[in-house]
């Protein structure tokens, strides 16, 4: 075979020059990539340092953890994000609110006092109301249910209120996580599975290998880790392909390069699934919403069984600000669901979109309330949610 290749290159000398130059380019790219990543190691963040896998609710925080860097993050004895490392008594005679959600509710990249749950806790502390934050990045209703049920039924955690902050990405995550349901059963509250057993759960394999099922994304991942220059060249090709997927509010130059706001693309399913009507998108959307509904109903049944108040809240991503989705399918779906089940519903879409009435442009709203080049709220955005929730809570529960 080698002789055949050599003969082919000899027959086509120009081709041999191209092949040699490509080979040399890839070798230099590979060496340069390894040198670059060795000198620019990924920064550790709270999710990595304090994170853990879990057989019941997939992942969470370690108990009594501490991460002190650009911002400080602490976890309590339950493994929930908190203002400090502290012991939480599972029994509670007073009022106790349990928040559950994903990275928005956890408050990623922010210290406790800058998250809306932390702000709410500080505001209600004078009323002798305890606030707990069971949220974690990349959660969805299946994991909300698994975690709430585990702590209330298995661990005996007493709470008076459950506040569910649903996220737009829950639609996609429910489809991803569905294989985790009933994968493992905890035999007793203090059971701790071996690390080996955790790594072999079906979901762990699904999440680890989900990109490999898509050869396109798997190929990109290999290139990013080994041939960074080649990866960015292909990325530029993606930029050209997706150039027209952005709304007019996103300037041309922002649509290019590694820091492009992909979450503002119309074809970004995770955050903008409600914008598309294609059959494949609709099938995935319907499945995700159905799974969300099923798991939220389980939480409602548990709350009724334990006489726990429950409420649901929703909020917009920057994409909903750009595309003005105040009356989207997502809003209507959960508004109708809460009305049908007689659950207090907090719709935070107008709290951000209505700033346009005050003269702010869509881009100015995003810049003011969201972390730069990210989908999550900054401190000011979290303050908006905190203030609104306090009014909502006092109106519905006092």
Q: Kindly tell me if the per-residue pLDDT of 7 is higher than 70.
A: no
- Identify whether residues 85 and 141 lie together within a single domain: yes
Strands, E assignment, 101-248: 129-133, 161-166
Total structural domains within the chain: 2
Beta strands 51-54; 66-68: pairing state = unpaired
- Identify whether residues 12 and 142 lie together within a single domain: no
- Identify whether residues 27 and 64 lie together within a single domain: no
Of the listed ranges 52-56, 152-156, 236-240, 355-359, the one predicted with least confidence: 236-240
* CATH assignment at residue 312: 3.40.50.1110
pLDDT of residue 292: 97
Q: What is d(CA 117, CA 100) in angstroms, rounded to the nearest whole number?
A: 10
- Whether 21 is in a domain gets the answer yes
Q: What is d(CA 352, CA 380) in angstroms, rounded to the nearest whole number?
A: 11
- Identify whether residues 286 and 358 lie together within a single domain: yes
Q: What is d(CA 105, CA 341) in angstroms, rounded to the nearest whole number?
A: 23
Beta strands 81-82; 72-75: pairing state = antiparallel
Q: What is d(CA 72, CA 69) in angstroms, rounded to the nearest whole number?
A: 6
Find how far residue 85's CA is from the centre of its chain. Answer: 24
- Identify whether residues 392 and 281 lie together within a single domain: yes
- Whether 161 is in a domain gets the answer yes
- Identify whether residues 313 and 347 lie together within a single domain: yes
pTM over 0.75: yes
- Identify whether residues 67 and 182 lie together within a single domain: yes
- Identify whether residues 114 and 18 lie together within a single domain: no
Q: Kindly tell me if the per-residue pLDDT of 162 is higher than 60.
A: yes
- Whether 194 is in a domain gets the answer yes
Q: Kindly tell me if the per-residue pLDDT of 196 is higher than 70.
A: no
Q: Kindly tell me if the per-residue pLDDT of 324 is higher than 70.
A: yes
Expressed as residue numbers, the domain containing 32 is 2-39
- Whether 16 is in a domain gets the answer yes
- Phi and psi dihedrals of 377, rounded to 5? -75, 145
3-class secondary-structure state, position 265: coil
- Identify whether residues 28 and 61 lie together within a single domain: no
The alpha carbon dihedral of 108, 113, 117, 119 has a sign of negative
- Whether 288 is in a domain gets the answer yes
Exposure class string for 307-342: b at 16+ Cβ within 10 A, else e: ebbbbbbbbbbbbbbbbebbebebbebbeebbeeee
Exposure class string for 15-39: b at 16+ Cβ within 10 A, else e: eeeeeeeeeeeeeebeeebeeeeee
- Whether 111 is in a domain gets the answer yes
- Which structure tokens are listed for 150? 């585990």
- Whether 298 is in a domain gets the answer yes
Q: Highest mean pLDDT: which of 199-203, 206-210, 307-311, 327-331?
A: 307-311
Alpha helices in 71-178 (DSSP H): 103-106, 116-124, 141-149, 170-177
- Whether 220 is in a domain gets the answer no
Q: Kindly tell me if the per-residue pLDDT of 122 is higher than 90.
A: yes
- Phi and psi dihedrals of 168, rounded to 5? -60, -35
- Identify whether residues 24 and 54 lie together within a single domain: no
Which secondary structure element, helix H or strand E, spans residue 182, and what is its range? none
Which secondary structure element, helix H or strand E, spans residue 75, and what is its range? strand 72-75
- Identify whether residues 182 and 289 lie together within a single domain: yes
């Amino acid at each position: 075979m080698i002789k055949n290749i050599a003969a082919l290159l000899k027959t086509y000398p120009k081709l041999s020059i191209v092949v040699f130059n490509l080979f040399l380019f890839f070798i230099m790219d590979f060496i340069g990539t390894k040198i670059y990543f060795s000198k620019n190691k990924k920064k550790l963040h709270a999710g990595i340092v304090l994170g853990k896998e879990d057989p019941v609710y997939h992942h969470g925080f370690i108990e009594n953890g501490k991460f002190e860097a650009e911002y400080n993050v602490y976890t309590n004895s339950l493994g929930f994000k908190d203002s400090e490392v502290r012991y939480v008594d599972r029994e509670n005679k007073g009022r106790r609110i349990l928040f559950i959600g994903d990275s928005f509710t956890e408050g990623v990249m922010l210290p406790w006092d800058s998250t809306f749950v932390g702000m709410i806790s500080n505001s209600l502390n004078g009323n002798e109301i305890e606030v707990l934050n069971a949220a974690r990045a990349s959660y969805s209703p299946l994991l909300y249910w698994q975690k709430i049920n585990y702590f209330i039924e298995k661990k005996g955690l007493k709470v008076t209120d459950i506040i569910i902050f649903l996220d737009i990405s829950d639609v996609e995550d429910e489809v991803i996580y569905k294989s985790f349901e009933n994968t493992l059963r905890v035999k007793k509250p203090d059971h701790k599975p071996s690390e080996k057993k955790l790594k072999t759960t079906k979901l762990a394999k699904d999440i680890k290998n989900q990109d490999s099922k898509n050869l396109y994304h798997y190929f990109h991942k290999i290139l990013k880790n080994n041939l960074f220059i080649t990866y960015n060249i292909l990325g530029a090709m993606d930029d050209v392909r997706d150039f027209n997927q952005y709304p007019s509010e996103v300037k041309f130059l922002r649509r290019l390069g590694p820091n492009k706001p992909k979450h503002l693309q119309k074809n970004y399913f995770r955050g903008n699934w409600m914008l598309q009507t294609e059959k494949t998108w609709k099938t995935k959307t319907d499945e995700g919403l159905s799974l969300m509904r099923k798991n939220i109903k389980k939480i409602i049944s548990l709350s009724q069984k334990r006489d726990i108040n429950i409420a649901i809240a929703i909020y917009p991503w920057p994409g909903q600000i750009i595309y003005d989705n105040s009356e989207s399918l997502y809003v209507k779906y959960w508004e109708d669901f809460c009305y049908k089940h007689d659950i207090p519903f907090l719709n935070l879409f107008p709290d951000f979109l209505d700033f346009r009435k005050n003269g702010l442009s869509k881009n100015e709203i995003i810049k003011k309330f969201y972390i730069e080049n990210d989908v999550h709220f900054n401190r000011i955005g979290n303050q908006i949610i905190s203030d609104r929730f306090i009014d909502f809570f006092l109106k519905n529960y006092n």
